[in-house]
Structure 1
Amino acid sequence: MLSPSQVWAQEHQIYSLDRVATSSLRLHVGPSVLAKTAIPATTLLILLYLAISALTLVQSSTFQEALHGPVLCEYIPDAPPRRQEEIRNYLGCEASSALVLFAGVAAIGLVPVFAMTYLSVRVLRFRADLFGTVLVIQGALKSKRFGLSTAYVRLDATSGRRIPYLQIVESASASGRLYLRDVHTPLMPAGDLLAVAEAIESGRRPEPFAGQAIQTAMALRRLASDPLARSSA
C-alpha cells in the first residue's frame, strides 16, 4: 500500500487526462504595453549606439596608428634591409596593446547587449495559459508546465513594489512564479483568479501542503471578489 507521500510523488509525475482540458484559458497577466515597447526600443538604441561608437573608433587615426603603427612605417620597405628591423622597433610599428584593450572593452560592452536582448525576448514572448489544472508559462527560451492540482503553492509579494505572485514548487528543480499583475498593469481579472483557485483546489495533497493550498485558493477567491483586497494588492 502506497503512503500519502508516495501517492503525491506519483501525482507530480503523471497528469491524468481528466485533469487536462482540451481548450486553454489565456490568463490576462504579463508585462504592460509600455514594457513591451520601451524595453525592445531601449535594446535597439543600445545596439545602435555601440555600433556607431565602434565604427567611429575603428576609423579614428589613433586606432589605425595603434593597429598599423605611424604613417612612416609604410616607408620602411624603402630602407636598407639590414636597418628595417631597427627602424620598425624605433618607430613602434608593431601592433600595440591597444588592440587587446579594445577587444576587452568590446567584450564587456556586449554583456548589457545580451542581457537587454534576453529581457526583450522574454517580455515579448511571455504568456500564461491554463490547460485545465496545468499552468503553462512561456519564457524567453522555453515554456514551463506546472500541475496546480498537486504542486506546492503559496501567495507572496515582491519586496519594494509589493507585486503579488503565486509561488509554484513541484520539485527542487521545477519551480516558478505567476505574477498576478505587473508594475503598470491591473490585477489579474476575477475570472482568471477563480480559474487558478479551482485548479489548485481540484487535487489532493498530503499535509501540510493541503492546508497551504486551501489557504492560497481562498486568498485568490478573495482577490477575485473583494474590491478592497483587489485595490490593496
Structure 2
Amino acid sequence: MKTVIFDLDGTLADTSADLIAAANSCFRNLGYGDVLDPVGDAHTAFRGARAMLGLGFSKVRPGFTAAEVMEQYPILLEAYAEEIDTHTRLYDGAVEAVEGLRTSGYAVGICTNKPEDLADRLLMRLGVRDLFGSMIGAKTVGVSKPDPKPYVAAVEEAGGVLAQSFLVGDTETDRNTAKAAGVPCVLVTFGPDGDGVKKLEPEALLAHYNDLSRITKELIG
C-alpha cells in the first residue's frame, strides 16, 4: 500500500504547552518556580524533554551538569504522563486529512521520537489512536530519528511499501530521516519553525491539512 507516515509533536498536534508544564513542575520542585515560558520556549519543547530541562537549567543554574538533567528526566516524564492532554490540541484539519487518506486507500502511521507509551496514551486521550496503522516511538526499534530504521518500521507495520511512502514532519530531524530513508519529506509551516522550514528544502510544504490530499497524489500518486 501507498503510505503516509506522520511525526506527532509539532506535526499532528501542538503539545508544547503540556510539555513545558511538565518541565516547569520539575523546576518548581527544585525551588526555582516556573522557569520556562509556554509561548517563548515552545520551540524547545518540540526538541524533547532533555532539551527543555537543559534550557531551564541554563536560565537558573548555568553550571548545570548532564547528570542533573538526567536526574530530572524521569520525573518530567511522570509529570507529563499525568497531564498529557490538558492543553494539547490536534492541528486544524489533521483528523479529516488522515481519515481522507484512509478512505482513499492509503496506509497511515506514526514515527515519533516521543516514548511509544506516551504517544499511545496521548492519541488515545485525543480519541484518534485507531486512525493509525503503526506507532513507532523513541527506541521502539532501538534507535530514534533521524536514523531511518524507525521510519522503515512505521511503514512496514502500517502495511506499506517504503518506495511508495513519505514522511510528514516539522523539523530538521524529520527532513534528515526522510533523506536517510530515501523518501520524500513534507514539512508543515504551522509547526514550531513556521516558514523557517523552507530552508530545509523538503519536497513539499504543508500550510494546512486541507492541502495534504493534493500533495499526497503529487508525491506518490
The answer to whether the superposition gives a TM-score over 0.5 is no
TM-score norm. by structure 1 comes to: 0.22
In terms of fraction of residues, the more helix-rich structure is 1
